[in-house]
Amino acid sequence: MGGAGRKNVAGANFLKEAFLAAQTGILFSDREEKIVGANPLAAALLGCESEELAGLPVVRLFSDGEKWTRLSGRLATVGKVRDFEAVLVRSDRSTFDALVSASVFGGSDVVELSTVWTILDITDRKLVNDALAEHDRLVNRELAAVPDPLIVIDVGGIISDCNAAAVRFLKCSGRRSVVGQRLLRFVSVEGREAIADALRTVHYKAALTGLTVVFVGNDGEPISGDVSASAMRDDSGAVCGNVISVRAYDAARVREQRPAGPSARGRMSEAERRGESTASGTAALPAPDVDERWLTISEVADYLGIRKDTAYKWLAREKMPGHKFGRLWRFKKSEVDAWFARVPRVQ
């Protein structure tokens, strides 16, 4: 056998080994979309042996004929489909959620037209995502009920989230008109330096309370309020933004309030410098002391002695108490302790 022949054999053996060892279900079908080959994982996902799949029309794997029509139509038009979500049927007639990808190859005088399919089981992922979405909906409903304005900003000072009270406070038409804007856009010129300095200080020290700021609503009118803030940290402990709550003054006091200047910058009490919690309004975050600082998902998992993905499952399925700020989850040790004590099935 010549060198080219040995290379072809080696290449074929490599592809065979890759096909058998792949961590994704792989199927091959002929020009009539009948299965002509399947790797062990595909057979396991479909609840049968590879030989049992031979000759089975691919359409029989789909529980929804309309989805098959859409997928096959797209495949016939463009020759490939990526990450198509569908419900597939096992040999025992049970179903599972899957991401299906397909690509057509061949179709010449030498190579017969064929299609390669890949199947990824996403049942657990979808269950967790659905549960988290429901949890987010409940959290957002509770957030909307908080009477004081809550504003979440990233490290660049861009608003990434807010509640309905903040939208009303800033005289905006809706949440979309607030999210994505710079916080300083809604702060009076005289107060911008003060709040910027105060938020930088929060990144390194305790929570901020008692900073009087004059905001400017979307209608251009001044709105005064006392600001409380706390830094948010990601799983690595790095600061990734701030959560700000505002206790607005009533209308009479707004008219009397002078714009905040350099002398109105927030000052930390001795208790805050020691890291103790401060009473700063309904939505203010506690100072990060030893017991009541905000815990990240990694920290709460370590505290409970579980893996991080298990913590996410408990958050979704067991309603473990957590607070979502933007895209980040934060936890209070006391709330987690109380929940863990009353939910015996997760112990």
Question: Where along the chain do its domains lie?
Answer: 3-121, 126-346
Q: Are 178 and 167 in contact (CB under 8 A)?
A: yes
The reply to whether domains 3-121 and 126-346 share a CATH topology is: yes
Tens-binned pLDDT, residue by residue, of the chain (347 aa)? 554 444 444 444 444 555 555 578 888 888 888 998 888 888 889 999 888 888 999 999 999 989 999 998 998 888 889 999 999 999 899 999 999 999 887 655 544 668 889 999 988 888 887 877 777 677 667 667 778 898 989 888 899 888 888 999 999 998 889 999 999 999 988 888 888 888 887 776 657 777 888 899 888 888 888 888 888 887 777 888 888 888 876 443 444 444 444 333 333 444 333 433 333 333 333 333 434 577 888 888 888 888 888 888 888 888 888 887 766 788 888 888 888 877 765 44
Query: CA–CA separation, 210 vs 264, rounded Å?
Result: 10
Considering only CA atoms, which of 143, 102, 137 is closest in space to residue 119?
102
Question: What DSSP string runs through 16-80?
Answer: HHHHHH-SSEEEEE-TT-BEEEE-HHHHHHTTS-HHHHTT-BGGGGBS-HHHHHHHHHHHHHHSE
SS3 83: strand
**What pLDDT was estimated at residue 86?**
92
At residue 257, the 3 state secondary structure works out as coil
**3-121 domain in CATH 3.30.160.270?**
no
Q: What is the pLDDT of residue 20?
A: 54
User: d(Cα 323, Cα 133) in Å, to the nearest integer?
Assistant: 14
- Nearest C-alpha neighbor of 165 from the set 179, 148, 182: 148
Is it true that domain 126-346 has CATH number 3.30.450.20? yes
Alpha carbons 119 and 35: distance in angstroms, whole number: 14
- What was the pLDDT predicted at 226? 87
